[in-house]
Amino acid sequence: MIENKAYALAIVLDASLLQVPECGGYAVGVTRADGSYVVFRDTHGAIYADEDACLEDPSGGVRSEWPPWGSGESWAVGFATLIGGQAHDRGGEWEVLYQRGDSRFSVIGADKAELYQSRGHYAACGEPEYYGWDWNV
């Protein structure tokens, strides 16, 4: 995953930006609401019992894969399942909706990531607090 994409996703998910030099890029690590820990890159990720389990056995964990980033429903469902979010069809464009633990709300699409004050703020079409975009260029 390229740095600006990983950085934007880390911001909107309240996650960690991880350097993965052996794979030539970056990954993102996030603790889900249920306490499990997820590490993901562009087309795959894994769920671990917690962050310590990931550090002890990086090849362990329940694996999840999806087609190329932002390529429709199967991408959105795969990614949403991994991070504990919700796949959402927004007029033919699939997004992943994610409720953060601090009440902020994230919307992740094919080439953008948005962070809102709350789900209500997003529903009212408010301006996002953060907008990361054009990471696939």
pTM of the model: 0.91
> CA nearest 44: which of 35, 52, 20?
20
Give percent of the chain above pLDDT 70.
Answer: 99
- Which class for 114: exposed (0-12), middle (13-18), buried (19 or more C-beta within 10 A)? buried
What would the pLDDT profile of 46-63 be if each residue is shown by its tens digit? Answer: 999 999 999 899 888 888
